[in-house]
């Protein structure tokens, strides 16, 4: 059974709308994963989640929704769309928010802060849905036809990677690592990540920088596209999707990064497919 993966937000750090980001998109991270015939699973709640919420509401024909949102971490670009997720205000809906329990501010506090009067005009009392917040870490969680596993990655304040696999076809899997610094990892940490991403149909990985840009930005928690290619090759992934585009990166510049990434792969002859995440695009993993 295949998984369909739709990108609602691909941009890192801050929204970047404008004439030069039309093709790859300006919304911050939000990815929808659907196993055939099942409900959607949402990865991250950047500004892309606003439009997804409206689409989920219309798909439900006015019926209450039951939905799981998995946050990689609580940096602003991964949560700022949450107050605009319209299912929150729908009576009878049930929204489960999962994330790493190791983040500096516990998730519940972050949610209250997002909805506090100093930063948002709608009171949390207006939230009609039942909202449950809990840790995504520990044993893989099974929901909506998928098993969801986590791995801690290298990012200031802590973050996790997710591996989402179809329960009916475990080989159909997406590994989602939007914020992670690959350089400087020790061999054991790197090996754990390679094993976690092993054989992924789709590896969506942080590709914020070029190697020239990375010098002077060590420790900021992000990767170069070159390092993302090396990880995908080491893990034997089928398709690498460059993700978390720098806000200033234009569509034309992203095209050029994809070409450079493909040139690295060509030298290895691995067959790895490389593209860059584009807002509105749907990719299918697995199935016949
Ligand atoms: Zn980010
Ligand atoms: Zn971050």
pLDDT digit string, tens, across residues 125-159: 899 999 999 998 888 899 999 999 999 999 999 99
At 79 the three-state DSSP class reads helix
**Treating both helix axes as pointing N-terminal to C-terminal, what angle do 251-266 and 225-235 enclose, rounded to 10 degrees?**
40
Q: Give me the pLDDT at residue 52, please.
A: 98
CATH no., domain 3-285: 3.60.15.10
- How far, in Å, CA of 51 to CA of 191, rounded? 37
Residue 88 has pLDDT above 90, yes or no: yes
Residue 71's pLDDT band (cuts 50, 70, 90): very high
Q: Which ligand is nearest to the CA of 206?
A: 1
Distance (angstroms) between ligand 1 centre and the Cα of 175 equals 16
Place of tokens 């159909």: 172
Who has greater pLDDT, 186 or 282? 282
Q: Give me the pLDDT at residue 142, please.
A: 95
- What percent of the residues of the chain are helix, what percent strand, and what percent coil, each to the nearest 5? 25, 30, 45
Distance (angstroms) between ligand 1 centre and the Cα of 259 equals 24
Alpha-carbon distances of 75 from 79, 100, 107, rounded to whole Å: 7, 12, 11
- How far, in Å, CA of 192 to CA of 176, rounded? 15
Mean pLDDT computed over 196-222 = 97
Place of tokens 């893989």: 140
Distance (angstroms) between ligand 1 centre and the Cα of 48 equals 13
At 268 the three-state DSSP class reads coil
Mean pLDDT computed over 26-36 = 97
Distance (angstroms) between ligand 1 centre and the Cα of 180 equals 9
Q: Which ligand is nearest to the CA of 158?
A: 2
Mean pLDDT computed over 248-257 = 98
Distance (angstroms) between ligand 2 centre and the Cα of 152 equals 13
DSSP output for 14-73: S---SGGGTTT-SSPPEEEEEETTS-EEEE--STTHHHHHHHHHHHTTT---EEEEE-S-
Distance (angstroms) between ligand 1 centre and the Cα of 117 equals 25
Q: Give me the pLDDT at residue 107, please.
A: 87
Q: What is the pLDDT of residues 165-184, one digit of tens each?
A: 999 987 899 999 999 999 98
- Would you state the structure tokens that stand for residue 151, as one six-digit string? 């791995």
- How far, in Å, CA of 242 to CA of 177, rounded? 10
User: How do the domains of the chain map onto residue ranges?
Assistant: 3-285
Q: Give me the pLDDT at residue 229, please.
A: 98
Least confident of 41-45, 100-104, 172-176, 225-229: 100-104
Distance (angstroms) between ligand 1 centre and the Cα of 64 equals 30
Q: Give me the pLDDT at residue 114, please.
A: 92
Distance (angstroms) between ligand 2 centre and the Cα of 198 equals 24
- How far, in Å, CA of 216 to CA of 249, rounded? 18
Q: Is the pTM above the cut of 0.95?
A: yes
Residue 104's pLDDT band (cuts 50, 70, 90): low
Distance (angstroms) between ligand 1 centre and the Cα of 150 equals 17
Residue 186's pLDDT band (cuts 50, 70, 90): confident
Secondary structure E strands in the chain = 3-9, 30-35, 40-43, 66-70, 94-99, 130-135, 141-143, 146-153, 159-166, 173-177, 202-206, 239-243, 273-276, 282-285
């Amino acid at each position: 059974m295949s998984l369909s993966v739709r990108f609602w937000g691909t941009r890192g750090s801050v929204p970047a709308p404008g004439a030069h980001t039309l093709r790859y998109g300006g919304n911050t991270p939000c990815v929808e994963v659907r196993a055939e015939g099942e409900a959607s699973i949402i990865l991250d709640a950047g500004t892309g989640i606003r439009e997804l919420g409206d689409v989920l509401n219309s798909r439900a024909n006015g019926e209450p929704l039951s939905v799981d949102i998995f946050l990689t971490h609580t940096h602003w670009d991964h949560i700022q769309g949450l107050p605009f997720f319209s299912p929150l205000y729908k009576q009878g809906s049930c929204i489960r928010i999962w994330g790493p329990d190791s983040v500096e501010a516990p998730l519940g506090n972050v949610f209250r802060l997002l909805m506090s009067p100093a930063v948002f005009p709608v009171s949390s009392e207006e939230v009609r849905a039942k909202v449950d917040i809990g840790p995504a870490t520990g044993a893989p969680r099974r929901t909506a036809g998928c098993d969801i596993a986590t791995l801690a990655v290298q990012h200031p304040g802590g973050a996790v990677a997710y591996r989402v696999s179809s329960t009916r076809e475990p080989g159909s899997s997406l590994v989602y690592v939007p914020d992670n610094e690959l350089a400087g990892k020790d061999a054991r940490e790197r090996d754990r990540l390679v094993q976690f991403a092993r054989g992924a149909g789709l590896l969506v990985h942080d590709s914020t920088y070029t190697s020239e840009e990375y010098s002077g930005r060590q420790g900021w928690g992000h990767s170069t596209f070159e390092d993302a290619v090396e990880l995908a090759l080491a893990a034997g992934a089928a398709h690498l999707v460059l993700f978390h585009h720098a806000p200033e990166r234009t569509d034309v510049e992203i095209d050029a990064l994809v070409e450079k990434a493909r040139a690295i792969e060509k030298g290895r002859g691995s067959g790895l497919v490389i593209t860059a995440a584009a807002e509105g695009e749907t990719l299918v993993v697995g199935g016949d």
